[in-house]
């Protein structure tokens, strides 16, 4: 008798990312992005504060009481950087949670009109 061996179907990272992206409606995506921006603005001190993705994840979960994957934080932060609402530092520093070197992000400073 021959035992049939089933091999699992290979799933690429792109497949899981696109499935995850489609699972969020545009409204939920925008809300999640705004929530992440609010966390960064709230937790960064003007002119000196910055945050790593893991630090953002940690504060998001503490403030909102909901779990979020660091990959989602990364995607929303990338959108916020592209939109000019966040900037990424060129210098690295150790993450306060993981200890790994990171390029942290910080909120864009709002321009005040000259009077």
Q: How many whole angstroms separate alpha carbon 77 and alpha carbon 88?
A: 10
- Please write the tens of the pLDDT for every residue from 15-70: 555 555 566 789 999 999 999 999 999 998 766 689 999 999 999 999 999 999 99
Query: Is the residue at 71 inside a domain?
Result: yes
pLDDT in tens, 67-93: 999 999 999 999 999 999 999 999 999
- 44 domain-assigned: yes
Within-domain flag for 76: yes
Return the pLDDT at 81.
96
Q: Pairing relation of β-strands 93-94 and 105-107?
A: unpaired
Domain-located, residue 87: yes
Q: How many domains does the chain have?
A: 1
Backbone angles phi, psi at 34, to 5 degrees: -65, -40
81 part of a folded domain: yes
Give a yes or no: residue 67 inside a domain: yes
Rounded CA-CA distance 52/57 in Å is 9
Range of the domain at 51: 25-107
In a domain, 47, yes or no: yes
User: At 78, which CATH number?
Assistant: 1.10.10.10
Record the pTM.
Answer: 0.75
């Amino acid at each position: 008798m021959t035992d049939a061996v089933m091999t699992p179907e290979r799933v690429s990272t792109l497949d899981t990312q696109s499935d995850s992206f489609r699972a969020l409606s545009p409204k939920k995506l925008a809300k999640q992005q705004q929530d992440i921006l609010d966390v960064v603005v709230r937790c960064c001190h003007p002119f000196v504060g910055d945050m790593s993705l893991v630090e953002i994840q940690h504060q998001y979960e503490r403030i909102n009481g909901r779990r979020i994957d660091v990959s989602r934080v990364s995607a929303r932060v990338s959108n916020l950087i592209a939109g000019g609402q966040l900037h990424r530092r060129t210098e690295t520093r150790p993450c306060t949670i993981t200890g790994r070197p990171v390029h942290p992000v910080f909120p864009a400073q709002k321009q005040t009109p000259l009077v």
